[in-house]
Structure 1
């Protein structure tokens, strides 16, 4: 039975709906997801599919949360409250322990601290609490000499930069996000989901790999003491799964800034639209110089945790180099382990958000984003050309 595609697209974006429908038709029968995009601050794509899904359904978006967290940091840098080339210890003196005293905020936010986890790991309660993680991390010896290499700080980067924010402002990153970004723009993207919105949350469903995909997973190099295991807290007894993490009410309520966010695709796309464009007569959150700074590549090459080529700007993934090479230079955003993808492409004016309920193989931005982003970007360029 073919699933119905709900929602609308603007004139010139009909091919995006066709691409989304084609993917949904060939996907698992229980597919559920959303796709939204803005161009120069105007919503042009708003689609969803799945039994019981709606435009306002909310999903665990894992590391797409990092985009919201580091948009807060970008605003504070733009304000002059934070300075990228100051040492982290200027804001957080205790961070100097175990040889970390020379690390700058710029290096920290670019995944260069070597502080991807702790030797003993975190409890589930600690994983939901950024301040608890930050306190543990301050005492941890880094896993490589800070500043000399980079690796994905998957579950802790939001706690680390969030502690800098708290020390500099006296307020949590989540509070500033709510006040300056989420509330003013009416974003359906939450770092701390209110209990009243819980009925809209759609619990994450585990990955359902094909036999061929399962064979790839089984052949992947693993070990209890690898950097990847430490970064994903898999080196401790009974750590729980990523599915358990997003489905935890405690995680959703506290909204840890690395991976605890909950969003609809509308919220993801609208946040990036607000970052770079006028939206509903509100000025862009970021000035051109700040947009260029956060999208500039700071770490590129072999990621010691991912064991693959990766590129990072300031807290954001360098989306064109990491995921979609046809995007403009300076595109910035973040994907999530469940398959979500979100970014801004300042050169085309495109802001994109995608969610799905069932985790995608092999993790990170779901493969269908390749074709969906291409379709949206092609239409965005064509409509912009016609308008000019």
Structure 2
């Protein structure tokens, strides 16, 4: 269907036509990049499946950056649910070397809530090391935390998956990437990969850097980021994360914090499997597991991002950004504009991908209108 020269492909279920209209309007208003995918499931059933933009189709696989964390911590939630991991045991009880960083009393619960203080390393990681979770974890245990562990929280943007992944590896002998493949991706046939197979390289859609407007560029120039700030340390400045993620070698390793690639269908399918019956299978997560992982664990201000009341365990709490969602919603956005979440209260599972960074980074702003339109359609039905 064509909207003012924007061709929107795909389908919506009856009652969700308004979502397609909002999606098309958002694309038409964004002169920098009209390439994205949107997929939504309701109680496991697909109700929105849309895509638009040159070189984009339903099977395109863009990088989803930190939406990867949702997949990584779904694995952790399953291991806690199975009794293999205990949230209130210390990390050092699983990974003794972790005590070297002065974090000997930190629990797995606190680590998942971004409270360790190990957001990076002095001088930054070499870019090849940053792509390898085991090397990242080994360097972090030699780093003094940037605040007293357990006393505050701050977004461990590039390293949380390496830290929790090392705990998983010490206990199971398997990586988060391997367990995600075996327990989640392969059984459901999801187009979302932690470690992109070489055979899928032709489907990868390279991420493009942000193109700020003149007004946005002026704002950036007026407030340059201090290279000594926690935000710079957590982002491994001056690494160009666009060029870095576009390297096949990085995507092949699939670092569990930021290295996943997938379609909107893959993202929504993963969250649908987490909360709903899909293909005759029971939801992956039990109600008590959902309640534990989605409740607020870190109240107050994030020392890295400045956001408020942001994290459950490993997952973001998207109702902070999208007030039409319930308090039980959980998921994770991604730096180039991706957004993915589930809302157990309504049965929604939402996936959005975008191939160009949106200003100022993180979930693209059009998600606010899209999520609101989806919720309106559900409530009207």
Shorter-chain TM-score: which interval? over 0.9
How far apart are residue 24 of structure 1 and its match? Answer: 1.4
Show structure 2 runs of 5+ residues with no match.
none
Task: Find the residue that maps to 1:352 and give its secondary structure.
Answer: strand
Superposed counterparts of 1:26-175, under 5 Å:
26-28=29-31, 30-175=33-178
Cα distance in 2, alignment partners of residues 148 and 11 from structure 1? 49
Q: CA deviation at 1:29?
A: 6.2
The match for 1:280 is: 279
In 1, Cα distance between the equivalents of 2:298 and 2:244? 28
Contact 1:272 1:352 in 2 (8 A): yes
- For the residue of structure 1 that corresponds to 2:356, the secondary structure is coil
Whether the 8 Å CA contact 1:348–1:381 is kept in 2: the answer is no
- Aligned residue runs from structure 1 range 339-354, under 5 A: 339-354=337-352
Structure 1 residue 189: Cα displacement:
0.5
Q: Secondary structure of 2:299's match?
A: strand
TM-score (norm 1): 0.96
* Aligned residue-pair number: 378
Matched-pair contact (CA < 8 Å) for 2:251–2:259: yes
Task: Compute the TM-score of the two structures, normalised by the length of structure 2.
Answer: 0.97
1:250 aligns with 2:270: no
Cα distance in 1, alignment partners of residues 156 and 309 from structure 2: 13
2:11 alignment partner, SS class: strand
Question: Offset of 1:98 from its aligned partner?
Answer: 3.3
Question: What SS is found at the alignment partner of 1:47?
Answer: strand
C-alpha RMSD of matched pairs (Å)? 1.0
Q: Give per-residue Cα distances to partners, 1:9-56, cap 9 Å, x unaligned.
A: 001101001111111122226411000000111010000001121100
Give the structure 2 partner of residue 386 of structure 1.
Answer: none
Query: How far apart in 2 are the matches of 1:258 and 1:240?
Result: 15
4+ aligned runs moved over 2 Å, structure 1 = 307-310
* Alpha-carbon distance in structure 2 between the residues aligned to 1:19 and 1:80: 43
Cα-to-partner distance string for 1:167-196 (whole Å, 9 max, x where unaligned): 010000100000000000111000000000
Q: Is the 8 A contact 2:296 2:309 kept in 1?
A: no
Aligned: 1:194 with 2:197:
yes
